[in-house]
Structure 1
Amino acid sequence: MAHPFFNPAQAAAFNALTLKTESIFENRYFHSTAKQAWPAPSSLTNVHEGDWPEYKPTTPVGAMPLLTATSSDGKTKLQIAESDSIERYLARKFGLFGNGIAFKEVLVNTFANNTQALIMEIFNKFALIEDAEVKAANKGSLYHEEHLQAKGANGHYVGDKVTLADVKTDHVISMILGVSGEELVSESKTPAIWRVREEMNTVEGIAVWKASEEYKALEKENFEFLAY
């Protein structure tokens, strides 16, 4: 039997809930600092899955993360599976995905996808290698500085407001700093990229999350396990 997640009868409910920003969110994932690093959802709870083998069969595609979005009145509850789907669902919901302008949406997608490729490159090269000297020899590189400089280094990839592309770059900067310190990314070496982080840190939801004890504990755990 197909998981209820795939039932097309949900389409109307999805459309209706997408327009409402006062939803309540629960995000199930393994321990990670990234999954609550969103500038918009203030009512988001992280649930760190402790019994994954038991919970796995109940998810739509046998994988995490899994976001549950509930309407403010509690009458509508929907699930969104997989990181990319979750990111884009939230980005559209909170105006971080081009606001219906096709060109802006393409730009956001371009830089968000390119940053995701870099995230996977860092994970594959660093998290899966135990030899510290080998890690030091494998360094990722960023190609976004030129674009950001060309548009005035205002701290945003598209226009003058936060988009999904900014959110993902803020995350990858943390990964790069954890791996190589400021050897690759810093205020002096990549000022336009660094400006993205500075702008993200002025967003209330991001600033509060990064200052929380939960974030600090997860950051320490991530570094011990993944080295970034």
Structure 2
Amino acid sequence: MVKSYDLPPLRDESTSAEDIEAIMSMMKPNSDELKYEFTYWRMSGVGAVSRDLMAIAGIAWEDKHPQTWPQDYNETPSGMFPILRIQNVENKTFTLFESSVIDCLLAKKFDLMGDNEYEELLVRTFYMNSHSVRERYLMRVTWNYKEVMDKGRDKYLETSIPLWCTVQRRQLEANGDNGHLVGNRLTLADIMLANVIDHIATLPEAERALAVIEECAPGLFKVKENVDKDPRLAQWRKSDKYKEFIEGSRTTYKTSGIV
């Protein structure tokens, strides 16, 4: 018999589609009109960009963490983390899942998707390109079988990172090598690129991987410098929570692999 799952809905019966539209219209930087609750493991991982976006936008959010696995997956609409719950003062709540959906909505609402439709298209394209290279590590190494992890790691370093570097480097050159992937200001594409470098820096093979980036596309580090200079992001990265999540990533990647 095929296993079935009893998963909660994206919204409860008391929250209408109109309520959600109203909540989304209230999403803006430096606002305390809504409550944000972000649930992900005590690590950076695929939750890192969402946290960065909320920090840059100057909004407060509550970090929640799953306590048990896999039982906690039954409390999410997709059986996966991260999830973001957004609630208004009337306790109307809706839930988002899939990190890329959460990231793109936050970036759109916080004015980090470029200055026109074409720029938004470019931002989404290069965001997803960076998203994909991070996911390839998870599939080839983190959640692979231990006996083939070394082969997956070599493939990642020899193929995945150089290809990603080439794609990102060409866009930087096309954009005038100004330290941004799209336009002349910070966008989601820049933030994701910086997070991929941060992610790579937590891996056991970080030294090798960062050397590949330096050889193939040193301009990527200029983008990361521009992201890191944002004052709100810099403040977030000095926090104990942020440091805890980075350490959680290092620990996870050291002990990953399927036996």
SS of corresponding position for 2:211: coil
Letter in 2 for 1:171: N
What TM-score results when the alignment is normalised by the length of structure 1? 0.84
Q: CA 1:120 to 1:4, structure 2 compared with 1: closer, same or farther past 3 Å? A: closer
Partner of residue 16, structure 2? 10
Of 108, 116, 119, 2:134 maps to: 119
Deviations 1:12-61 (A, max 9, x none): 22322223222331101122221422222531221111134443333222
Q: CA 1:30 to 1:151, structure 2 compared with 1: closer, same or farther past 3 Å? A: same
Partner of residue 3, structure 2? none
- 2:114 touches 2:120 (CA, 8 Å); kept in 1? yes
Do structure 1's residue 212 and structure 2's residue 239 form an aligned pair?
Answer: yes
Partner of residue 120, structure 2? 105
Deviations 1:97-126 (A, max 9, x none): 235x32112101110111111111122233
What TM-score results when the alignment is normalised by the length of structure 2? 0.75
Superposed CA RMSD = 2.8
Q: How far 1:5 moved relative to its partner?
A: 1.7
Q: CA separation in 1, counterparts of 2:197 and 2:171?
A: 16
Partner of residue 203, structure 1? 230
Range 61-70 or range 7-16, more displaced: 7-16
Letter in 2 for 1:51: T
Of 63, 80, 86, 2:102 maps to: 86
Of 196, 200, 209, 1:172 maps to: 196
SS of corresponding position for 2:182: coil
Deviations 1:65-110 (A, max 9, x none): 1101123x354322112212211111111111235x3211210111
Structure 2 stretches of 5 or more lacking a match?
1-5
Range 111-120 or range 216-225, more displaced: 216-225
Partner of residue 40, structure 1? 57
Letter in 2 for 1:84: S
Letter in 1 for 2:108: R
Range 56-65 or range 125-134, more displaced: 125-134
Q: CA separation in 1, counterparts of 2:52 and 2:177?
A: 22
Partner of residue 77, structure 2? 60
Deviations 1:124-181 (A, max 9, x none): 2332365786466330221211211232222221112222211211111112333332
Q: CA 1:78 to 1:208, structure 2 compared with 1: closer, same or farther past 3 Å? A: same
Q: How far 1:7 moved relative to its partner?
A: 7.3
Structure 1 stretches of 5 or more lacking a match?
none
Q: How far 1:11 moved relative to its partner?
A: 2.8
SS of corresponding position for 1:198: helix
Partner of residue 70, structure 1? 87
Q: CA 1:180 to 1:6, structure 2 compared with 1: closer, same or farther past 3 Å? A: same
- 2:140 touches 2:153 (CA, 8 Å); kept in 1? no
Q: CA separation in 2, counterparts of 1:168 and 1:10?
A: 32
Letter in 2 for 1:12: E
Q: CA separation in 1, counterparts of 2:71 and 2:139?
A: 27
Letter in 2 for 1:104: E
**More helix by percentage:** 2
Do structure 1's residue 24 and structure 2's residue 52 form an aligned pair?
Answer: no
